[in-house]
A and B are shown apart, each in its own frame.
Chain A
Amino acid sequence: MSANALDTLWLEERSLTNLIKQPAIRGILDTLLAFAVFMGLWWVFMDPRGVLRWYTPQYGYMYIRWLLIVAIWQAYIFNFWPFKLTWMEKTHPLKKGLILIAINFVVTGLLVWVFYYNIFGRLAIPYFSWPELKKTGLSDFFSREYSSLAILMMAAIASWLSPIWPAAFENYPWHNLKQPAKGFTVFAVTFLLTTYAYLIFMHPHYRVLFYPWQEYTAAFPWWYDSFHTLSGNFNVGWIMCATVSVWLLETIMERYPFRLVKSQPWRGLTGFAFILLLAWILFFTFTFMQDMVWGPSVEGAKRLMAPDWRYLHNGELAVILLTVALALYFYFDNWPRKFSTEVNLLIRVAITIIGAWGIHWLYYKYSPQLLGTQSGYSHPQQFPMAPVILFINVMLYHNWFMDGWPGKRIKQDLKVA
């Protein structure tokens, strides 16, 4: 990270020491631990054979998405406010982790049940609210599914736009504010942008989702002529690629190359543009790869021949890519670090791409047994993004909230500014 950085996060400043010394063993054990916790959470909350069975799939997926964005707000936007950074440094990671995770769950629950179901959905747009949709006469099942999709789409867009401020803009021009003023400002600005982005990219989906078409309240899906689908899945796909790009650049790519730009806001704007460029390269490349393996999509078709499913699947493939990158970053210390930045980046990108092929193969081979899904690539009630993002959530809890304990912990003799 540049010494001239405008603003830094506690996550960047903390100094971690290894409790398990051997790096490969530490990395493998950490990954297995995270996977075990993920399997436990999946069984309790999501698995169709498990306890709560919320993977219906949008309902459970909605929670998984909001847990992610709330964790980003906690760690990146609010820099762990209201907790003092000395508390963050000194508290045992297990206690600290449980408290921060509990806050994560509670805030997510409040957002869904209070804000969306009972304020925004009741007073503004009913399709954000399960109970409000039921009142219109829709079935209980689809009221829950349709509202879950809308709510999770706001989280998906927020997970692209929110971290751009601390990561690309270094919170410029509010970098000199103290928390919580800084956090609230960045949150407010990014959530406003998220809302507008949602209205442009997802709201038209809801025009055609209801019968009859809601012609007065939402625009016609303006992407139809170029991309041959009325479905908002087209936008879900590239937005997911953009979210993944943000995090690839933030982790394995060390914010290179936009960090070469000397001053803000130009660094941020370059970063934003670069993120979009990478996102669209991923998006179109994944479309091309699917067309090569399965043949070109057919307008009006279902399952894996459907154009909209292919676009959605681009996002799913991108998130698999991100999982490998995050595991490399968190659990294998962003290996390698000994060469020049450029060479390190190349090796990490190669590992990420090859690892993603492997995870993709493993996922589609074993997910029926492990996760209770149906075999096959395209199923109407299946979104690999849900389990993969839940696994990412576990990694974030482990590394952001618990400092990677028991593999690592914070060096106790350092003072934090």
Chain B
Amino acid sequence: MEKDFSRRSFIKGMAVGTMAGYFGAAGLSSTVFKSQLLPKEKLNPVDIGQVKSLKIKVISETSWYDNNVFLNDVKKAGGLLVNQYEIPWTREGVKAGYLGDNLGGFSTYIEAELMDGKVIKILQDTGWNPHWMDKRFKEEGIAEKLARKEIDFQVITHEHIDHFFGIESTTRHYPDIPMYVPKGFYQDGFDLLKGKSFPKANVKNDHPHKGKVTVLDSKQVNVLYPGIALMTFDVPIILRVFGEQAFVFNVKDKGIVLVTGCCHQGIISYMEEVRKKILGGQKIYAVQGGLHISPFEDWDPQYDDLIMAFNKYGVQKIGCNHCTGFITAEKMIKAGLPVVKGTARHMSKRDIYLGNGDELVIA
């Protein structure tokens, strides 16, 4: 049979070849040539300066007392995507709770001594249940410090119920306290600051905030004082919250100390960002705060990945608590990670990690 050049055959061949070429190039680029084709990241670490020492006091890390009650509230409302301002949180009849109330809250008090000897006093977060937070603020002397305006500023790490809904416990003493919130705060959050109530969620603020509120942007290192910085992460969070910020301290002769609220961005990602963006970030000495791994004592193999990877970062002290979860703490200890023990006082359930009233000093 005579073979004629057929334009039709050529075009058909081109069609097949184009698809094969496209998918073949895709397949080869993403496997064999991947390392050559992936762009290298340009690093420009920021020198945030240093502090002499750091004292971190856990005012409250018990955000709620009965996991089942909390989860039932969430489940009845429709799951973890529901807006936290619309969930009817159970406030009474809870045996394990504070006077029957399931709600507690998270807050930390930090004293950072600058190189010139001045001590910067920071209140991180403001808890959930104002009755509980008032009690703890009084017991730890925070109420007095607030009333005397001794606290330099407050940082709200993220808009979650247990870090922010107890705002009137701060503002009743110090209504114009300078405040830092992360990018991603919803209008509801700003409204609550200004005194709006949300009766469905049983939250109110009878002491509107009158001071300056600074929204800190992500993708940059926000240096507040030499040795004290905040980083905001664009992270989608459960219960219709977005964005979390966390502290980076650089303690002389020790290294970087990270202090978080919940670390929803993930502790590994946080450490990786610090390594890339902070001068000296390769040496992370300590981590303190909630790490949000198994707060409901649930699990996911991803968390085992986390524990197995954690060892590589050379952290000397892990002052985790709150939403880290007991299962996580037990697994971390078993994996040989240096989890700091607590004293299980003031309604903290176990001494496996830092509890209410416990302190971590880095000097």
Contacts and interface: CB of A to CB of B under 8 A. Distances in A.
A contacts B directly in the complex (CB < 8 Å)? yes
B67 interface: yes
A417 to B, nearest CB: 33
A288 B25 CA distance: 12
Interface string A369-409: 00011111111111000000000000000000000000000
Interface residues of B, number: 61
Interface in A297-344: 298-303, 305-309, 340-343
A296 B37 CA distance: 12
Contacts of B327: 211
Given A139-B67, A374-B237, A381-B238, A303 B79 contact: no
B309 interface: yes
A145 B296 CA distance: 13
B269 interface: yes
A346 interface: yes
A231 interface: yes
A48 B81 contact: yes
Given A56-B80, A343-B15, A375 B236 contact: yes
Interface in B230-274: 234-238, 240, 242, 264-266, 268-269, 272
Nearest to A257: B16
A184 interface: no
A57 interface: yes
Contacts of B75: 56, 140-141, 144
Most buried by B among A145, A230, A302: A302
B242 to A, nearest CB: 6
B114 to A, nearest CB: 33
A278 interface: yes
A300 B77 contact: no
A292 B39 contact: yes
B220 interface: no
B76 to A, nearest CB: 9
A381 B81 contact: yes
A284 B266 contact: no
A163 interface: no
A292 to B, nearest CB: 6
Most buried by B among A49, A301, A308: A301
B160 to A, nearest CB: 13
Interface stretch (A85-93, A120-128, A192-200, A202-210): A202-210
Contact of A230 (B74, B79, B304, B331): B304
Contacts of A215: none
B2 interface: no
Contact of A300 (B18, B37, B71, B306): B306
A302 B15 contact: no
Given A298-B268, A343-B15, A48 B82 contact: yes
Contacts of B266: 301-303, 305-306
Nearest to A213: B304
Contact of A382 (B18, B41, B81, B265): B81
Interface string B307-334: 1111000000000000000010001000
B44 interface: no
A317 to B, nearest CB: 13
A17 interface: no
Interface in B273-315: 296-302, 304-310
B79 A346 contact: no
A183 interface: no
A32 interface: no
Interface string A121-153: 000000000000000000111101100000000
Contacts, number: 193
A360 interface: no
A148 to B, nearest CB: 12
Given A53-B77, A378-B236, A303 B12 contact: no
A221 interface: yes
A308 B301 contact: yes
A166 interface: no
A23 interface: no
A298 B240 CA distance: 26
A99 interface: no
A57 B19 CA distance: 37
Nearest to A149: B300
B31 A55 contact: no
A185 interface: no
Contact of B301 (A209, A289, A303, A372): A209
A203 to B, nearest CB: 12
Contacts of A209: 299-301
A287 interface: yes
Nearest to B276: A295
A232 B301 contact: yes
A7 interface: no
Contacts of A157: none
Contacts of B298: 139, 142, 145
A173 to B, nearest CB: 31
Contacts of B8: 340
B38 interface: yes
Contact of B19 (A229, A230, A306, A346): A346
A349 interface: yes
B224 interface: no
Interface in B323-358: 327, 331
B335 to A, nearest CB: 12
B238 A301 contact: no
B34 interface: yes
A57 B237 CA distance: 14
A254 B309 CA distance: 46
Contacts of A340: 8, 11-12, 15
B265 A303 contact: yes
Nearest to A232: B301
A381 B31 CA distance: 30
A182 interface: no
Nearest to A289: B30
A53 B26 CA distance: 39
Nearest to A231: B301
Contact of B29 (A53, A288, A309, A349): A288
Given A57-B79, A373-B81, A343 B11 contact: yes
List the 9 shortest-distance A-B pairs measured between CB atoms, nearest first: A300-B309, A53-B78, A302-B266, A376-B236, A56-B79, A288-B30, A230-B301, A342-B15, A48-B81
Interface of B: 8, 11-13, 15-16, 18-19, 23, 26-27, 29-31, 34, 37-39, 41, 67-68, 71-72, 74-75, 77-83, 234-238, 240, 242, 264-266, 268-269, 272, 296-302, 304-310, 327, 331
18 contacts: A49-B83, A56-B79, A141-B72, A142-B296, A145-B298, A208-B301, A209-B301, A232-B301, A288-B26, A288-B30, A300-B310, A306-B302, A306-B305, A342-B15, A343-B12, A345-B15, A345-B19, A346-B16
